[in-house]
Amino acid sequence: MNILAEIIAHKRAELAEWKQARSVEMLRAVQVAPPPPFAAALRAAPIGLIAEAKRRSPSAGAIREPFDPAAIAAAYARAGAQAMSVLMDRRYFAGGEEAFRAVRASVSLPLLYKEFVVDPWQVWHARALGASAVLLIAAALDDRELAALLTECRAAGLEVLLEVHDETEMRRAAASGAECIGVNNRDLRTFTVDLGTTERLKTLAPTRCTLVSESGIRTAADVLRLQAAGVQAVLVGEHLLRQPDLERAVRELMGLAWEGES
């Protein structure tokens, strides 16, 4: 069993408990204000930044200690990030609802509910927390499940970032009608990272989709390379979170790309 399959199996077990505590009907009944647009915010910059709040990961271990999601969010917002991604998984990433609520209370940026979403309950949970978008992972869903969750997200008024890793998944994403697609540069089998994955899959992406490059983005040169390839946004977590000064780290990473078309 690879790490994704292991996480998904555990997620389904967690969901059984969560549904007993709060039904999907209870989540649907939560009154929330319309969230700020996600993809439009990314496209408003020369290249958008989705800055991530992530305490740890299975591949990297502990990333930032102490971990203060509200302070992290405020620093990202001051530095000019267009959106934020907040990890929800507790067992493998030390995330959760508390972190998401802290970020939502700290900033008005569009927020991505970054979770291993396999059930409509999670879509309505994201809406109740004030998310603008939900991550769906093509590798974790078959075509029927993907179509059903895309429909559920539309019903909830949420945008979707559909993550792909290879050509087969990109073709599935294009066929699904997804308007915002994220290319994960990390090979799920080997954990190796190659920015060339985004450049390769870009040729198969729908012309009008918002394309996001994820994983392995560490330098201003990386951002400029992806910008030149026609990517609309980057998602960066580990590199930024390992820096002591988050505002400075964002500006050093994104400054040349943002200034280049200002």
**Annotated catalytic residue within 115, 152, 159, 214:** 214
- Is 163 in the active site? yes
Return d(Cα 100, Cα 178) in angstroms, integer: 25
How far is Cα 87 from Cα 253, in angstroms, rounded to an integer?
Answer: 21
Check if 179 is active-site: no
Q: Indicate which residue of 11, 85, 114, 159 is catalytic.
A: 114
Measure Cα distances from 197 to 58, 165, 168, 193 in Å.
21, 8, 13, 8
Strand 61-62 to 56-57 pairing: antiparallel
User: Which of the residues 115, 152, 159, 163 is marked catalytic?
Assistant: 163
Which of the residues 85, 106, 132, 184 is marked catalytic? 184
Active-site residue flag, 52: yes
Q: Which residues pair with 186 in a beta bridge?
A: 193
Annotation marks residue 114 as catalytic: yes
Choosing from 11, 52, 185, 199, which is the catalytic residue? Answer: 52
- Would you call 184 a catalytic residue per the annotation? yes
Residue 205 near residue 181, CB atoms below 8 Å: yes
Q: How far apart are the first and last CA of the chain?
A: 47
Grouping H, G, I as helix, E, B as strand and the rest as coil, residue 23 is coil
Residues with Cβ within 8 Å of 148's Cβ and at least 6 positions away in sequence, in order, are: 120
Which of these is catalytic: 57, 159, 215, 238?
215
Mark whether 214 is an active-site residue: yes
Secondary-structure breakdown of the chain: helix, strand, coil percentages, each rounded to the nearest 5: 45, 20, 35
Distances (CA, A) of 174 to 81, 157, 197, 201, 251: 27, 21, 16, 11, 33
85 labelled catalytic: no
Kindly provide the b/e burial profile for residues 219-243, where b requires at least 16 CB atoms within 10 angstroms of the residue's own CB: eeebbebbbebebbbbbbbbbbbee
Active site positions, annotated: 52, 54, 114, 163, 184, 214-215
